[in-house]
Amino acid sequence: MDIVELTAQHEDSYLMCLEDWSSEMREAGDHKARWYRTMRERGLRVRLAVDDDGRPIGMIQYLPIEHSLAVGADLYMIMCIWVHGHKQGVGNRQGKGVGRALLEAAEADAWELGAKGIAAWGVVFPTWMRSRWFKKRGYRQVDRVGMRVLMWKPFTEHAAPPRWIEPGPRPLPIEGKVSVTAYINGWCPANNLVYERAKKAAEVLGADVVFESVDTTDQSAMIRCGQSDCVFLDGKTLQKGPPPSYDRIYKLMARRVGKLHR
């Protein structure tokens, strides 16, 4: 296994989170590609773990915290670290030190770039991006919103801890309509998938549904809205776990459309 910088050779695989075998990933649109092109100019760094055959088996992406989901200074923020864990494609490569090697490479790179520390987000339950995984590697919790935990590792005593962007109010329902408010940043295909499915369902259901898209690519927009990636249906969060299927989203919207005409 080697840790290498992202090049054009593996760019398509990276944009699909190494799941280029997945038809579901292809539903997520080009949001991540556009986010990648924008953030690459703002300091985004991507490292891949490749196996002996040169195939990507893990990835990490991190960028200056001023362009991330958290507020801070002189820090880098890890937006995602992922080691391929499916039977398809290159197979399950988790539990073999790939994630640790990617993390160490990112920390060393951030240090060389002059950062005073590095931050990461995690969740408290045992799934992807577990906060306790970072804790075992020297990170400590500095902020929390619900199940989402902000972790960090300072490199110097002069580093200041980051904080989450303050959550904003939920969008208000629209009288006489089914309202869908979709905040889209683009960094995560899973979030992009929910956005695209909700948009498609709204289009199919027609004039009874008002679909509002809010671009949160810039951190200033995230701070103003208090949101990064989230879809609200009549002011309630549409996603509370893995991305719901298109059929599920359509049925939820259609049910609300039906209530309008009773």
- The DSSP 8-state label assigned to residue 170 in this structure reads P
- Domain-embedded: residue 66: yes
Two tokens at 45? Answer: 């760094």
When divided into structural domains, the chain yields a total of: 2
* Strand partners for 58: 49, 83
- Domain-embedded: residue 173: no
Threshold 0.95, pTM exceeds = no
For the stretch 177-224, pLDDT in tens is 999 999 999 999 999 999 999 999 999 999 999 999 999 999 999 999
What is the span of the domain harbouring residue 146?
2-164
- Is the same domain home to 186 and 158? no
- Is the same domain home to 78 and 138? yes
- Is the same domain home to 206 and 115? no
- Is the same domain home to 118 and 240? no
> What residue spans of the chain are helical by DSSP H?
11-15, 31-40, 98-112, 131-135, 189-205, 219-225, 246-260
Two tokens at 214? Answer: 């809010």
For the stretch 76-123, pLDDT in tens is 999 999 999 899 999 999 999 999 999 999 999 999 999 999 999 998
